[in-house]
Amino acid sequence: MGAKRYQAVKGTRDLLPPETALWAAVEAVARRVFGRYGFGEIRTPIFEDTELFARGVGESTDIVGKEMYSFTDKGGRNVTLRPESTASVCRAYVEHGMQTLPQPVRLFYIGPQFRYERPQKGRYRQFHQIGAELLGGKGAESDAEILLMLVAFLRELGFTDLKVLLNTVGDAESRAEFRRRLVEYLRPHAEALSEDSRRRLDTNPLRILDTKSPEEQKLLAGAPHLEECLTDASRSQFARVQEILDRMGVEYDVSSRLVRGLDYYTNTVFEIVSEGLGAQNAICGGGAYEGLVEELGGPATYGVGFAIGEDRLIEVLPGSFKEKQKLQVGGTVVVRVIGDSAEGLGDARGGLEVAGQELAEELRRAGVPAVSLGDATPAKTYAYAEHVGAPAIVVLGGDELKTGTLTVRTTATRKQETMPREAAFSYLKAFFASFVSSSSS
């Protein structure tokens, strides 16, 4: 009997090549686009004090209530694997006194998040977010800036049909009034509500609007609208956000039922959904939060940001981007050696393996990515080249050695050409240089 075999823990997974190259390419685009908007990268710890999330994300949310990976460490600290990063970024903003820097502060992050949710298509327990936060800005203008950057990023990935769903959840005053009216409307129907919703009636009634139950949705059709409870300030802020987005040509749909599952939002909230994902169709969520920094011990600070679910984003990535990425990564050159050491290939001990390794190393030193397959058969060489996406195969045999040439075979066309060694090196160098320059354009 063999030893016990292990599997990745439920809800987690390995990301493997060649897909990881796609992840890296998406992240490279994020860095490039966010950099263009003046955002700098922040890397916060993967775990934080549990209390940070309880206070930041909100005690009554699903995340804090049932989805956190919390544990006590050996020093008796109560810590939690981050379920999201906005609270961490605000904690860091306060901890490092970033309010004394020229405002606003623009930060982005890329990394894993952890939520104990029921795994399904597009939903994992360890998932990845690409997010950004703009802190210390000015209301509607900041909201629009964040949305402009988000849309620019998605466009750069080749998305053409994604719509931003936009709403306002009002300021604290609007929300208190809406909460009061919603509870007043729902209370007499409490019997018809699910247990979850009944509990939320007292803890977080706004979350009842998220219900997936058709009966509850029917009941909610007659419920009061947040819109009716908005203060003048919230109303004009929402109008201003739309005005700026219109002026900048950013498309959106106002979706008055959109609420978000985290407690810190005020005024502008948004989501981006994709039909391709089924039930878990939100690829991005975000919005403004005016009270969070203060809640975490800092000064009153306007904040707005978003987080894209990278796993879901990759799932629905346009084919155009995937194709471009494949071309740009371009794999490696595969070296194949034919002949034997009697022809002067390799030394007596290492033979063809070493001859191939030598040539591959020379290519790498010239900036050409290369691997050697030694004296593999043509069939094996092609199979490998196709597997790693190698655009070319370099063949070195007795003839080439004698004449100081190399034979370069293009994988796609299977056409080959024997050329002087120098010329082959220049050709391959130019070939790969073109990848590098087109991927960073």
**Which chain residues interact with ligand HAM by CB under 6 A?**
84, 86, 115, 117, 122-124, 127, 129, 131, 133, 261-262, 282-287, 305-307, 309, 311-312
> Which residue, 134 or 193, is less far from ligand HAM as judged by CB?
134
**Secondary structure letter of residue 282 according to DSSP:** E
Q: Cβ 21 to ligand HAM, closest distance in Å?
A: 21
Distance CA 329, CA 333 (A): 12
Q: If you count them, how many residues does the chain have? A: 441
- Is the CB of 107 or the CB of 385 nearer to ligand HAM? 107
Tell me if residue 338 falls in helix, strand or coil.
Answer: coil
- Give 271's strand partners: 165, 285
Q: Least distance to ligand HAM from the beta carbon of 133, Å?
A: 5
User: How far, in Å, CA of 150 to CA of 148, rounded?
Assistant: 5
Nearer to ligand HAM, 262 or 329 (CB): 262
What is the C-alpha separation between 345 and 395, in angstroms, rounded? 12
Tokens describing residue 219: 């009941």
DSSP notation for 400-432: HHHHTEEEEEETTT--EEEEEHHHHHHHHHHHH
CB of 267 to ligand HAM, least distance (A): 12
Residue among 59, 80, 14 at smallest CA distance from 295:
59
Helix 140-156 / helix 232-248 crossing angle, nearest 10 deg = 40
Q: Which residue's CB comes closest to ligand HAM?
A: 309
What is the C-alpha separation between 261 and 169, in angstroms, rounded?
Answer: 12
Question: What does the block give as tokens for 233?
Answer: 């300030």
Instruction: Name residues whose C-beta falls within 8 Å of residue 155's C-beta, 6 or more positions apart in sequence.
Output: none
Going by their DSSP bridges, the two strands 40-41 and 69-72 should be labelled as unpaired
| Pick 276 or 367: Cβ nearer ligand HAM | 276
Do residues 386 and 373 lie in contact, with contact meaning Cβ atoms separated by under 8 Å?
no
Which has the closest alpha carbon to 230: 243, 239, 242? 239
In the complex, the smallest distance separating the C-beta of residue 27 from ligand HAM, rounded to whole angstroms, is 15
Alpha-carbon span 395 to 409, nearest angstrom: 8
- Judged by beta carbon, residue 32 or residue 123, the one nearer ligand HAM is 123
Smallest separation, CB 407 to ligand HAM (Å): 48
The b-or-e profile of 52-71 (16+ CB within 10 A means b, else e) is bbbbbbbebbbbbeebbbbe
How near is the Cβ of 411 to ligand HAM at its closest, in Å?
36
Q: Residue 318 Cβ, how far from ligand HAM at the closest point, in Å?
A: 17
Rounded least distance, CB 111 to ligand HAM, Å: 12
Q: Which one, 86 or 237, has the nearer CB to ligand HAM? A: 86
Instruction: Please say which residue, 280 or 411, places its beta carbon nearer to ligand HAM.
Output: 280
- How close are the terminal C-alpha atoms of the chain, in Å? 55
Nearer to ligand HAM, 307 or 373 (CB): 307
Q: How far is CA 34 from CA 46, 109, 206, 318, 376, in A?
A: 22, 10, 33, 20, 45
Distance CA 115, CA 64 (A): 9
The CB-of-16 to ligand HAM minimum distance in angstroms stands at 18
For ligand HAM, which is the closer residue by CB, 318 or 398? Answer: 318
In the complex, minimum distance from the CB of residue 261 to ligand HAM, in angstroms, rounded to a whole number: 6
Nearer to ligand HAM, 301 or 328 (CB): 301
Q: Which is nearer to ligand HAM, 265 or 425 (CB)?
A: 265
Rounded to a whole number of angstroms, the minimum distance from the CB of residue 2 to ligand HAM is: 33
